[in-house]
Amino acid sequence: MYVCSCFGITEQQVRQHAETGACTPRQIAGACKAGTDCGSCVRKIQALLGRGACPRREALDPVVLTTAVTTASAAASLPGATAAEAA
């Protein structure tokens, strides 16, 4: 069955791209252009990918994330600090 009429992409093709690592509609679009013209197939692509189609990203340690943001903010607020120095 066709998923994307604009580019003639089938469910089987979407599944094949998903098996090779395309986990989101945007990644499917990058692989075969499905969803990049009229966009009416994006929800169907999402349904085909389903939940759990890709491994979950590991959660970031909130302490490390908070410290990095706080440090960058503090550096940016120093008088005469440039964007490069703040990063």
Output the 3-class SS for 19-74: HCCCCCHHHHHHHHCCCCCCCCCHHHHHHHHCCCCCCCCCCCCHHHHHHHHHHHHH
Q: Taking the C-alpha atoms of 34, 2, 41 and 4 in order, what is their torsion angle to the nearest 10 degrees?
A: 30
> Could you give the angle at the alpha carbon of 23 between the alpha carbons of 32 and 40, nearest 5°?
55
- pLDDT at residue 83 greater than cutoff 80: no
- pLDDT at residue 68 greater than cutoff 50: no
**Rounded average pLDDT over 40-60:** 74
Residue 65: what are its φ and ψ, rounded to 5°?
-60, -45
Tens of pLDDT, residues 17-47: 999 989 999 999 999 999 999 999 999 999 9
Residue 10 pLDDT class (50, 70, 90 cuts) = very high
- pLDDT at residue 60 greater than cutoff 50: no
Domain covering 2-49, topology: Arc Repressor Mutant, subunit A (1.10.10)
Percent of the chain with pLDDT over 70: 57
